[in-house]
Amino acid sequence: MALPAWVLNRCGGPGKQGVGWQWGIGTPSLEHQCLARASSQAVPPTPQQPTPSTPHKSGRSSMQSPSNQLAPSLPLVEAVLRQAASLPLVGLDGDPGTMVGTLILVPAQPDGAAPTAWEVACGASLGYARQLGLAGVAGDFLLLPTLPPLSGSEDQVKETQPRLPQAPVALYCYQPGAGPDEFGALAQKLPPGPWRLEAPFTEGEEDEGRESNEGAAAPARLMADALLGFCLGSPSCTLKGHDLAQLRAREGDAGPAAPVHKRACLVTPPPHVVPEVMLAEVRATARAMRLGRALINVPANLLGPAELARAAATLLADQGAKVTLVEGAMVAADYPCLAAVGAGSQRGPVVVKASWGHPEAPLVALCGKGVCFDTGGYNLKPGGAMARMKKDMGGAAFMLATALLLVETVPNTAQGVRFELRLGCVENSLGASAMVPGDVLATRSGLTVEVGNTDAEGRLVLCDLLSDVAALKPDLIVDGATLTGAARAALGPDLPALFANSESHAQALLKAGHACRDPLWRLPLWQPYGKWLKSRLADINNCASVPMAGAVTAALFLERFIPPGQPWLHIDTYAWRDDPAPAHPHGGDLPGLRALHRFLAQPANWRGGVTEI
């Protein structure tokens, strides 16, 4: 399978050793060769169960017609990710031939009264702006009309018409302190073309809780929020025919996803206005979020376990991480419970193992549920509940985005952060080999699990991953998963549920979420409910015996695989937007990403033992 030119270029081209671990190009790594040998000795390769050395073919069955697939799927997925990583930010470097608009950011007034300084800033009278519909409340947007210069003397022009700008000028009213989400709507409001930010009214603004930017001027913090919110609110690529044609036409092009005059984009402020370190964090955060969302949005026929694992491997290796893919018989040997979840699918499970960081840096272990599609198994989901189950790999997208963001923003030194990442990529399907209710499964830890419900598969994926990383004795374990409908019903799409076995770690993460306006909501690890997970046959049941507190009992199940004294955070997220909101378009979403990054980027927040709840 030929890879896109952009992958070949960044990996050093065919036959050359690229950055990190490369797959499908040149000579495989030693670890990959060992896995390939072990797999080939255990199970002969078949079209339905590829070994690591065999490129995986898209499709759920070898009997499917290629005409029913957008194949080859992996290059298409990578092209979609490339477009997602292309941010709507430009640096024009003073190009005199480009007409650049001005976007003036204005704080909303409590009574809706616009400050008189607007008149000076925008070059038009306040009265005229009000006639055009400016109210001065949060979210208010006004695009001032542009007219050619009028003939006649300057005095005549002043008497007959307000002064109008020659280049486009727009006003946007924001709520001070609201964070990046406040500016997400600009992506839909601004006309195509480049826009330069101005924030002339930030003197004296309070910016509660923004510790990471202490010392930065208020305009810099405001502009950084505006840049990030605009990037997160900008649409990414779809799989409509027109977008696919554009993807194919631009394949291998290293330039922006579209010419600046065909979509709205923001001009990055110079370093003396917004420090480069802040701009770098904006870019990294926007890229990580958009990549994670794009992965969630790709349909399951294009993004199976192998495609998700290989896309993650490419992204991580590109950043210098050491990556290993565990496939075939090795999954059943090392992750037996996870393998049982994928036994019903003809697309075998894959586990991504990645590591990065200085060996003396504090270690955080990240585990993500990557169920690429969840039918529910033999406890089949109803059609309405199954419709969006391509998003059931949202936990893997969350943890992958977190890892990518740490690599881009945290120094690779002993004072930085080191991570171990595990992504369990699997498909929960029906089939002759699929698990059924009443089965008893082995786990990596040695505990046995009775399958009370095949639709409670996410915890079966995570339990083996947690046991794997717990053996490394990290300073902290964090797992992310679209685990329960109970968390979604309780908290909705905005608030991921947080469970923690350590008070200090929980409070530090909640504080980070409040500071960056990306909140999580804590739910209890209520131990008395653990009795509902008892099994007469096995050590534990994967499904509670009563239909109550589903998010709590799921977290209690996972806690059984955490050694005593090991700090652990569990994030149960919806990872989806049914109704779009500013900075949160319809589709995949990763609320809590910015909060978790802010928390992990400062090891003082989490380097320490469990503190009692």
CA 208 to CA 231: how far, in whole Å? Answer: 23
Query: Are the C-beta atoms of 511 and 522 separated by less than 8 Å?
Result: no
Count of beta carbons in the 10 Å neighbourhood of residue 355: 18
Closest by CA position to 294, among listed 82, 595, 581: 82
Would residue 381 show up in a list of annotated catalytic residues for this protein? Answer: yes
- Write down the residue that tokens 């926007």 correspond to: 286
Q: Pairing relation of β-strands 418-428 and 363-374? A: parallel
CA 148 to CA 276: how far, in whole Å? Answer: 37
CA 379 to CA 456: how far, in whole Å? Answer: 9
CA angle in degrees (0–180, nearest 5) for 607-610-612: 140
Task: Quote the tokens at residue 250.
Answer: 């631009």
Query: Are the C-beta atoms of 538 and 552 separated by less than 8 Å?
Result: no
449: β partners? 441, 540
Closest by CA position to 3, among listed 311, 411, 302: 311
Which position among 459, 488, 594, 598 bears the catalytic label?
A: 459
Task: Quote the tokens at residue 397.
Answer: 């997208």
CA 194 to CA 263: how far, in whole Å? Answer: 8
Query: Are the C-beta atoms of 481 and 395 separated by less than 8 Å?
Result: yes
Element (H, E) at 32: helix 30-42
CA 49 to CA 330: how far, in whole Å? Answer: 12
Task: Quote the tokens at residue 595.
Answer: 């909060």
Residue 323, SS3? strand
Decide: residue 160, CB within 10 A, 0-12 exposed, 13-18 middle, 19+ buried: exposed
Query: Are the C-beta atoms of 350 and 418 separated by less than 8 Å?
Result: no
Longest Cα–Cα distance in the chain = 94
Would residue 459 show up in a list of annotated catalytic residues for this protein? Answer: yes
Decide: residue 96, CB within 10 A, 0-12 exposed, 13-18 middle, 19+ buried: exposed
CA 360 to CA 353: how far, in whole Å? Answer: 20
Query: Are the C-beta atoms of 546 and 510 separated by less than 8 Å?
Result: no
CA 547 to CA 543: how far, in whole Å? Answer: 9
CA 426 to CA 5: how far, in whole Å? Answer: 28
Cis, bond preceding 580 (omega within 30 deg of 0): no
Positive or negative, the CA dihedral 374, 380, 381, 382 is positive
Which position among 60, 189, 322, 381 bears the catalytic label?
A: 381
End-to-end CA distance of the chain: 52
Torsion over CA of 547, 553, 558 and 560, rounded to 10 degrees?
-120
Quick one: the chain helix, strand, coil %, rounded to 5? 40, 15, 45
Chain centroid, CA 381 distance in Å: 26
Rg of the Cα trace of the chain? Answer: 26
The catalytic site residues sit at 381, 459
